[in-house]
Chain A
Amino acid sequence: MAKGRLKNHAVETIGRLAAGVMVVFLILPLAGLLVRVSPRALVARLGQPVVLDALRLSLLTSLGSTAVVVTFGLPLATLLATRSFRGKRLIETLVDLPMVLPPTVAGVGLLLAFGRTGLLGGVLSVFGVTIPFTTAAVVLAQTFVAAPFFVAAVTAGLSEIEPRYLDAAATLRASPATRFFRVMLPLALPSVVAGAAISWARALGESGATITFAGNLPGVTQTMPLAVYMALQSYLEASVTLAVLLLAVSCALLFAFRSLPLRPLSRRNRAASLDR
């Protein structure tokens, strides 16, 4: 008995130790960044051309790709959440794939699809459109890696809407379109916002697919994550400034997540009605 208790005690201690190591390991790099620059120096360095260019480009491309993701992802998520059709499982799997695909592989794939000799690139070049190594390529790369996060979040949100609300809307003379815009979308709004935020964060942080497909041209395709890496080799201060900036944005997003009511409205209401 005593031996067993001792063993339990040892396991417990080792467990706590391991958990502590993990936490320290996760915090250390962040601390490294924050210790390196004072807030005042950070603001002062924001005006540097390298930093400014990367910042402008990142904002432009990430917002652009998020817009593309929402525009095309919402209809797809709706289809996946509300209809059953042949090949649905396959589509779901393919849509999720970029989440686990190495970004550089995604970049190569995009190159082979949209490159001058690629599947679609040949057709595009006939019309004088070249995509690789342009700002548009950055947007495409970000869209590719970020879309799955949006589609997954919104599909889950839409699936959780209880059928009774849609039935009620139908008996209130609401056409399918009205049901979507006035019932489904408002009820799934928290998931749509969350999905857009996650996919924006993912687009902002994208580097591997971007550098492979769009290259690393300052002002054209050099986004913040790429600039962080490049500046590291020439100009450490700029690198750290950009890195801290990215960290701040990530933290803000994460806190926003935690405090947002991400549960769909229908769920919260059900909980409320069970209370009575």
Chain B
Amino acid sequence: MLRASIVRNRPGFRLEAELAVDRASTLVVVGENGAGKTTLLRVLAGLESADAGEIVLDEQVYGSGSARPMVPAWQRNVGYVGQDAALFPHLTAFENVAFGLRAQGLRGRWIRTRVGEALDRLTVAGLAKRRPHELSGGERQRVALARALVLEPALLLLDEPLSGLDVQTQRTTRGVLRHVLAEARCATIYVTHAASEAVMFGDRIAVLEAGQVTQQGTRDDLLRHPRTPYVADLMGVNLYRGTLAYRDFAGLAEVQTTEATLSVVDPGGDEDVFVLVIPREVTLFLERPEGSALNTFYGPIAELTPEPPFGERVRVAVDSTPPIVAEVTRHAVETMGLKPGQPVFASFKASGVFTYR
């Protein structure tokens, strides 16, 4: 189990993060490039120092700030797999995996058994004698994982392990990785910029924006209650924030945002609320629709994005004020003749909206 609080100040960039990860579970840290994800991992691994904070891993205190001397990386029980596998080019796959065991002074048959098991677990046992340059990107990444896991670390750090791979390799490596992480007994921190990976791997997800953890929770928490525009964008939902301005006696209320007035089901209370609109609840019209409990935005279509895998559903971003994303069928796109630049009305019912504080 890991508990860490880290503060690191550099000119123009401050990293401040508080994280907790249970044994045998995975925390995904998701954020854009430059949000400080890699720095966070390097501090946890002991490859870089922090200015303040504390890292506690299974009762061991690694320290980090000026208060405690920094424990160097090689004395930590932490495994690290970077964006690129960084396999030692002068060693075979087998010797790469054996490296850490030999560094600890282990010899002989013991090494053979454990390395064999580790390579097997990552389905690369047949590649033991190959050199890194004879391996594909996905194979290298799997050998790198075996190399980290063979030491049975208490904390496993993965820095965008799939991002350097082509789509097909990503798929197979992802499968192996899921299997391995599901069986692993260590706490895992998985860093990525891809929402799909966050949702797939994260028992919990922490969102890092410009060096700050802005939201942390399960994937359902993030999907249903995003608290920043970035999280909403990541989860593919529409998020507005406003104040309850008016309520009628039929159970409806109005939320005043900076740009629009939204009709919602009365959430009670009267503070600021988040208004979440799921794209599937948004309908597009070429003519202004009629209806009392209907919210309607108007603007040109900015972008049409077919949803994987077959594009049967299409995400339509409308450049209204405020902007909104609708998800409609391909059939609707074709019959309405939707294309970028075309003005449309985007509507959703008051009952199709989630409000929360």
Give the B-binding residues of A (Cβ under 8 A).
162, 164-165, 167-176, 178-179, 182-183, 186-187, 189, 265-266, 268-269, 272-273, 276
Contacts and interface: CB of A to CB of B under 8 A. Distances in A.
B86 A186 contact: no
A269 B132 CA distance: 8
Interface string B46-78: 110000000000000000000000001111101
Contact of B104 (A162, A173, A176, A272): A173
A164 B73 contact: no
Contacts of A269: 89, 132-133
Given A167-B73, A168-B88, A273-B84, A173 B103 contact: yes
A82 B347 CA distance: 63
21 contacts: A164-B84, A167-B45, A168-B87, A169-B103, A170-B72, A171-B74, A171-B80, A173-B104, A174-B74, A174-B103, A175-B74, A176-B74, A182-B99, A183-B88, A186-B90, A187-B90, A189-B90, A265-B90, A273-B137, A276-B136, A276-B137
Interface string B167-201: 00000000000000000000000000000000000
Interface of B: 45-47, 72-76, 78-80, 82, 84, 86-90, 99-100, 102-104, 132-133, 136-137, 144, 147-148, 151
Contacts of A174: 74, 99-100, 103
Contacts of A272: 133
Contacts of A265: 89-90
A170 B99 contact: no
Most buried by A among B80, B133, B137, B144: B133
Contacts of B87: 168
B166 to A, nearest CB: 9
Given A265-B90, A266-B89, A171 B79 contact: yes
A167 B82 contact: yes
A172 B103 contact: yes
Contacts of A187: 88-90
Contact of B89 (A175, A178, A268, A276): A268
Contacts of A178: 103
Contacts of B84: 164, 273
Which residue of A162, A268, A269 has the most chain B CB atoms within 10 A of its CB atom? A269
B80 A168 contact: yes
A38 to B, nearest CB: 45
A163 to B, nearest CB: 9
A187 B72 CA distance: 23
A171 B89 contact: no
Contacts of B136: 276
Contacts of B80: 167-168, 171
B249 to A, nearest CB: 64
Contact of A172 (B82, B90, B137, B148): B148
A195 B88 CA distance: 23
A171 B71 CA distance: 12
Contact of B86 (A168, A173, A176, A179): A168
Contacts of A182: 99, 102-103
B298 to A, nearest CB: 48
Nearest to A179: B74
A173 B100 contact: yes
A169 to B, nearest CB: 7
